[in-house]
Chains A and B, each alone.
Chain A
Amino acid sequence: MMLIPCPWCGRRDESEFHYGGQAGVAYPSDPSTLSDEQWAKYLFFRDNPKGAFRERWCHTAGCRRWFNLVRDTVTNEIHA
């Protein structure tokens, strides 16, 4: 079980959280100009690093706020 630091509530069990995938994926500024391939890339393609990964989490069973953190995908260590 990971302890995830909610910026509001502090460290809580992983089971209280919902995973939101990679952080910082910007919505295209003009989606109508995108090709199907570019749109599919935006929708479905995400980085899959071995190491530090910036991702979104929601404290579903607690304060229900979304936040970002950096997790090491090898060790599950959470930085920032």
Chain B
Amino acid sequence: MAEQNSPLGGFRFPEGPVTIAEIPFLTQINIRKEPDSSLPLSAGTSSRSGDVDILWLGPDEWLAVGPPGGFTEHHWEGSVVDVSAQRTTISLRGPHVRDLLALGCATDLHPGVFGVGACVQTTLAHAPVIILRRESEFWVLVRASFATHLAGWLVDASREFAVEALP
């Protein structure tokens, strides 16, 4: 079997104030079709179907993200394209994740407007990304060619939160 290499080589940075880790090889399916009720219809929202997240990307465009190896239980009509190799996923965990993202992202990620299931296409440290809020972590989906830059930026920017403010 051919060897698989992810853009960040399974990168993990668990010792910082924000736990940064690549989740390699997630299956990503781009769907373009007429909207229907099985898909999230509001901008910036996602829905969960089994272990697959379906993210709104546009009024006629969605991205289904799930475990590596493809989906067997999901079938969509329209233009359905496997884009798994296009992006990798970076998981961010910890109390300072929003503060970290705010250092490089102008989009409002406050819990009041960006709750569990919210997703947004925007830029983070000048790299185009999709940010998805999950229950206990944030996912940042980034194109393979920007992944090293973004991982390096995240590690560097997160060091700020290792310093406790003086009383």
Does B121 lie within 8 Å of A8, measured CB to CB?
A: no
Docked Cα-Cα span, A40 to B120, in Å, equals 41
Chain A residues near B106 (CB, 8 Å)? 12-13, 15
Interface residues of B in 94-143 (CB under 8 A from A): 106-107, 120-123, 128
Give per-residue flags for A40-79: 1 if the beta carbon is below 8 A from chain B beta carbons, else 0.
Answer: 0000000000000000000001111100000000000000
Does B122 lie within 8 Å of A10, measured CB to CB?
A: no
Total A-B residue contacts, Cβ distance less than 8 Å? 36
Does B121 lie within 8 Å of A62, measured CB to CB?
A: yes
From A8, A12, A64, B122 is in contact (CB under 8 Å) with A12
Main secondary structure of the interface of B (DSSP, over half): strand
Chain A residues near B58 (CB, 8 Å)? 8, 63-65
Binding site for B on A (CB under 8 A): 8-10, 12-13, 15-16, 61-65
Does B59 lie within 8 Å of A65, measured CB to CB?
A: yes
Min CB gap B21→A, angstroms: 25
Chain B residues near A12 (CB, 8 Å)? 106-107, 122
Chain B residues near A13 (CB, 8 Å)? 106-107
From B43, B107, B128, A8 is in contact (CB under 8 Å) with B43
Docked Cα-Cα span, A9 to B61, in Å, equals 13
| Interface size counted on chain B using CB atoms at 8 A | 13
A61-B128, A63-B121 in contact; A10/B43 too (CB < 8 A)? yes
Nearest A residue (CB) for B105: A13
Give per-residue flags for B67-107: 1 if the beta carbon is below 8 A from chain A beta carbons, else 0.
Answer: 00000000000000000000000000000000000000011
Does B43 lie within 8 Å of A16, measured CB to CB?
A: no
**With contacts A61-B121, A63-B57, A63-B121 known, what are 15 further pairs, Cβ within 8 A?**
A9-B120, A10-B43, A10-B44, A12-B107, A13-B106, A13-B107, A61-B123, A62-B122, A63-B43, A63-B58, A63-B59, A64-B57, A64-B58, A65-B58, A65-B59
Docked Cα-Cα span, A76 to B94, in Å, equals 40
